[in-house]
Each structure stands twice: as C-alpha cells, then as structure tokens.
Amino acid sequence: MRYSAERKEAVLKKMLPPNNRSIREIAEEEGISEATLYNWRKAARAEGRLLPDGDAHSTEDDHRFH
C-alpha cells in the first residue's frame, strides 16, 4: 500500500518530541507495519532529518551498539 507524503509526515511527527512514541505503539495505533515505520524513519534520517529511535519497547537497534 502506498501512503501519501502527508500521512507519512503526520506519522513521523509522532516519533518526535514531545510525543516520543515508540514504533510499536504507532504501528498498532495506525495499522501500519513496524517494518514500514522503520523504513520511513531510515529514509527520513537519510535525508538528514534527526529522528529519535522511537522504539523504546524494542531492542532491535540496541544490538548494533553493543
């Protein structure tokens, strides 16, 4: 499924302060897979936008740093 740029932006904003929502929470709320949200976050970071990990309930990213 393709999502509009506006929808992606609205969802990505939920990862930013003051919301700081986890990807898992957003996925459940929005009905979008966690994998899609991780890809959107990765693409935003590649564009130079700083986004927090937003996955406080997941340890997937933590393993890369240990």
Task: State the CATH number of the domain containing residue 31.
Answer: 1.10.10
Is residue 63 assigned to a domain? no
Secondary element (H or E) of residue 14: none
When divided into structural domains, the chain yields a total of 1
Instruction: List the Cα angle 18/24/30 in 5-degree steps.
Output: 80
Q: Record the tokens describing residue 10, joined without a space.
A: 């609205």
Query: What is the separation of C-alpha 51 from the centre of its chain, rounded to a whole number of angstroms?
Result: 8
Domain extent for 50: 5-57
Rounded Cα distance, 36 and 24, in Å = 11
Task: Please say if the pLDDT value at position 18 is more than 70.
Answer: yes
Is residue 34 assigned to a domain? yes
Is residue 65 assigned to a domain? no
Q: What is the pLDDT of residue 37?
A: 97
9 compared with 49, residue with greater pLDDT: 9
Is residue 38 assigned to a domain? yes
Is residue 9 assigned to a domain? yes
